Chains A and B, each alone.
Chain A
Amino acid sequence: MADKILLAHGSGGKLAHDLVEKSFVKTLTNPFLDKLDDSAVFDLSGRLAFTTDSYVVSPVFFPGGDIGKLAVCGTVNDLAMSGAKPLYLSLAFIIEEGLALAELEKIVSSVQKTANEAGVKIITGDTKVVPRGSADRLFINTAGVGVIPEGVDISGDRAQPGDKVILSGAIGDHGIAVISQREGLSFSTKLKSDCAPLGGLVAEMIAASPNINCLRDPTRGGLATTLNELAKQSKVSIRIEEKTIPVREEVMGACEMLGFDPLYVANEGKLVAIVPPQDADKILKAMKKNKYAKEAVIIGEVAAKPAGRVVMKTVLGAHRIVDMLVGDLLPRIC
């Protein structure tokens, strides 16, 4: 086989078939994918969650992961944020002509490893190749489906005054890890992306108590944007305390260096949970047992006013508004 992806690899002919069989199906193998029908056919019943995402992160390889791992985690996490057990994913590649086959295979291997950990199967896919310059090495699109257990009703509009706000761990790792690889920014760091599949964590939280009102993962726009979305959807105020929010020293350092606020930096392996006060402690306890939420902490609570706003108590004890992200500070980090 050629060592670079050519336009012909996307044309549906022999070269394309070889690529799919040898580089994709062989690694991602499962009974659905192996059939290589135009669509995957399966039985599924219950309340379903369905999501779609596209991944255009640059660079495609970054400390702690790559676009393949990111694609699986992102999709799995979107499903988990509805309380669903993620089951099946679709995977579509848009490849820039000239991408090295070895790199593509490394990414597919990453997809497989992550899918295994998350307990999901890639059951259908698509491959297109576009001319040089039309895509930045590789874009990935996914869709995912999962089943929501009985008694679970999680949605952005269910936060109630009095609820506690739990954050699963330190913020800012992913955004800083990715930007540290960008050209023109001359710094090096040992920081890794926090990219992780959270389906297992959510299942453990639900087992501790199904009374979770909201779940969301703070990706682009960071914790601040996510909390604002929830506050607006639920028409409540979210009040947080600055000193409770965990931020790694390296992230603080990079943010100081670059003038960023960690509240707005992307995360790919964290979640925010809004839960009734009487369930908060047992959910927190369950979270801390999971390897992806050892630093979970209650960062605040929900109040009635000012509705739609996020208010933070600063280290001085004063209060200030935390707004949504304005503008586009870190392009293409997801």
Chain B
Amino acid sequence: MSVKLVNISKIFRDQENIQKKVVAVKDVNLEIKDGEMVTLLGPSGCGKTTTLRIVSGFETPTTGEVWISGKMVNNIPPNKRDTSMVFQSYAIFPHLSVAQNVGFGLELKGWGKTEIEKEVRRIMKIMEFSELYNRKPEQLSGGQQQRVALARAVINKPSVLLFDEPLSNLDAKLRVQMRMEIRKIQKTFGITSIYVTHDQEEALTISDRVVVMNEGKIMQVATPIEIYSYPKNMFVADFIGRVNFIPGKIIEKKEKTLLVNFGIYQKEIKCRYGDFKVNESVIIVVRPESLKMSPAKKKDPHCIQGEISKLVYLGPTIEYEIEVKELSRKIFAVIYNPIEEGFFKVGDLVNIDFKPIAAHVLSQKDKE
């Protein structure tokens, strides 16, 4: 049950001013494989929810095609589409019991009463909330409502399961627990899923692939590891986790690495994306936790050196801000396990280093 979005765009007209157009989604192309769980990640207003609503049929794309299980579904209304949505507000029917909520879709399919009850009980048992069978929605906690909403969507055995920021109304601890559970249920039933979130941690933990969106466009589609380690452009790098951007210039192209000059320094960096020319201006991308710090005895032009200007102690980690005069910028470093790695003070002179594999370069053109 694959999902394919072909050149999807959605332009909203401003309600007040008809002349004004708002481009919510622009030229989105995406293919989701059978049984895969894909998250749409991005800041608010990036078009991720609109994309999800286009798949569900609640929004009609201005241009482009939506394909579900090999069928073009643009003209099929949401109630005839084989998709089920889990809403941000859960949208539990307040006047129906838990069992009636879960069985709602089956009732619509014309199932008999006893069959519905059997199936509702079966699903509720799998999802471990059988005891709530006769409860009313107002007697449920946030996490329980979430479970009911998920069961109600899953019971229909939809081709595609859609999640619209389903965990944003829960507290932090429950959120962690529920996202594991959602992933478990999704794998158990093997349902192709699209999951919208603005929480990068959620996206990284839950998905097979992450789609990062900004201003209606797809920025990058990749596995969580790839997205975090080798972001394709500055937006993705900056949006997910923290990052150091250091401008530099290509000096030499080697077989698998590039020799890059930045400030007075030179370093070999693994080549990931694109075709770079010698003398091209680039941006070096390196994560704070990839940096190694060591005490510097004296000035050494072959090492990147700087003075610690700020530090934040967080328990498992220490975050340092290091003023590197030669680069005329500050570098962030995160040191894990500081007890073993050693502590530094503000004003200490340190050497900074990173391995070629821990960094990559982006063309200046990829500034987006």
Binding partners A and B: no
Give chain A's interface residues, CB within 8 Å of chain B: none
Give chain B's interface residues, CB within 8 Å of chain A: none
